[in-house]
Amino acid sequence: MPDSNESPQGLKFADVPFDPTLSRRQQKRALFQKKARDAQGYVNETAFRQVERKYRTRIPPPDLSEVIDFRPGATNHPDIASRIVPVALNPAWQTERRRLQHVFGQWTPGHHTGYMLLGFPGLIFIPNPFTPTAQRRLVKQCLRQHARPPHKSNLDAHYQVPDEGVWNRHEGAQCHGWDDADPRGQVPAALKPSPGNHCPNSTAATGQHQSPPPKPTPHATATALVPKLRWVTLGYQYDWSRKEYFLNSPLAFPQDLDDLSRAIVTAIHDVGYGVAGNTSPPSQYTTIAALPPGYDHDRGYVHHYDPAQFQAEAGVINYYQTRDTLMAHVDRSEVNMDAPLVSLSLGNSAIFVIGEESREAKPLALYVRSGDILCMCGPRRKAYHGIPRVLENTLPEYLQPQLPAADTDTDWPLFGAYMLNARLNVNVRQVL
């Protein structure tokens, strides 16, 4: 009689770490997954791929102890904790936040600190500077305003997206109770697949989004299509086949995202860290860091890109459902690789993985939560990065469908219902 603890492939349950929280069926699945991994010879995979796979694996759930958490007071792995450098943001950022309350929300003092990592020059993390109301406004803009023609989206490959956009049609159907057969709530199929847009399950810049493409159907309800939205491109549109921008026909860049990204580029101007013992710190906003053992090669890093030179010219909005991932890639289609890339997270939290110019270097993983901003500058602008995991059930309270009764945001519940299983990422690039 075969040992009931043994799989048909001859692997024993003892070969995978025992996790008492898993059902027997889940343990069996973990065992099969391990077997499949071994069979595919993962021994030769790159360091980046290994880390990506670690965080993608669901059963057993991954160990998150090495994921960097920039929240004040968070417990970080000791190797990481000694590398986190709080940096003073440029004071001009306060003026910008005050001026742009339609973007960041009502101004209150604070939000002076960003974070960098020793031995990892060019990554600047700004913890959520938005009020809850401002975040909800951004989410609404991403769904109502930005996800509609003339901006291209993954849905264009199979559907004739109406001028009002799929979200507004969905909202109409839900508010007025139109049934599925009502043409007012439907989206017709494309007459033929549109060239240059045949990459329906990818982000504009990379072609890496891992999620099922929408099935070509004669027509679909807007409500069914909303969770199939994966990306929208802003400003310069992107030529998928040539992996370059269409430079002759830029669309006007959305004002709110233009304001937002320019304010962030102002916040990080002249920001960085110098090294203890260096007698002339490179700028007045430079923190002086004491280097932990193993980082004595680090000469410090200060970000100098002039905000007056920054132009928000192209952007991608990624709409993730909680099981979607974004594979390792470098955003290298921009002619100007000196300008920082500004990236905003909204909704459920995720694990962001970023390494070096080569996939062979072991990357770092960090939490990105709703409102957090990541800037990829200098050497980090050319670094591989990706999202191996969106973390389920991490939507902040202020984005939940049911807000406290005192809240007057009456049209939020439909957005909140979408956000329960979603993460949005808005990233803005200068192209020229």
Smaller CB separation from Fe ion, 185 or 388 = 388
Does 372 participate in binding Fe ion (rule CB under 5 A)? no
CA distances from 345 to 52, 128, 207, 257, 417 (A): 19, 9, 20, 13, 18
Hey, is 136 helix, strand or coil?
A: helix
Q: Which does 318 bind (CB under 5 to 8 A by kind): Fe ion, ligand AKG, none?
A: ligand AKG
Taking the C-alpha atoms of residue 266 and residue 260, their distance in angstroms, rounded to an integer, is: 10
Starting at the edge strand found earlier in the chain, the sheet holding 385-390 runs: 209-210, 325-329, 385-390, 350-354, 364-368
Smaller CB separation from ligand AKG, 302 or 366 = 366
Choices 25-33, 46-54, 85-93, 327-335; region in contact with Fe ion by CB under 5 A:
327-335
The count of other CB atoms within 10 Å of the CB of residue 9 is: 12
Q: Which does 311 bind (CB under 5 to 8 A by kind): Fe ion, ligand AKG, none?
A: none
CA distances from 123 to 85, 112, 272, 352, 353 (A): 11, 17, 10, 12, 12
Q: Which residues bind ligand AKG (CB under 6 A)?
A: 203, 205-206, 316, 318, 326, 331, 343, 345, 352, 385, 387, 425, 427
296: annotated binding-site residue? Answer: no
Choices 2-10, 35-43, 62-70, 328-336; region in contact with Fe ion by CB under 5 A:
328-336
User: Under 8 Å CB-to-CB from 159, ≥6 apart: which residues?
Assistant: 166, 187, 188, 189, 190, 214, 219, 220, 225
CB closest to Fe ion, residue no:
331
**The pairing of beta strand 301-303 with beta strand 231-235:** unpaired
Instruction: Candidates 156, 270, 331, 334: give the one binding Fe ion (CB under 5 A).
Output: 331
CB closest to ligand AKG, residue no:
425
Q: Which does 429 bind (CB under 5 to 8 A by kind): ligand AKG, Fe ion, none?
A: none
Hey, is 80 helix, strand or coil?
A: helix
Strand partners, 159: 189
Taking the complex as a whole, how short is the minimal distance between the CB of residue 349 and ligand AKG, in angstroms? 11
| Strands (DSSP E) found in 304-363 | 314-321, 325-329, 341-347, 350-354
Taking the complex as a whole, how short is the minimal distance between the CB of residue 128 and ligand AKG, in angstroms? 14
Smaller CB separation from ligand AKG, 155 or 353 = 353
Q: Which does 203 bind (CB under 5 to 8 A by kind): Fe ion, ligand AKG, none?
A: ligand AKG
Q: Which residues fall in the annotated binding site for Fe cation? A: 329, 331, 385
Give the binding site for Fe ion (CB under 5 A). 331
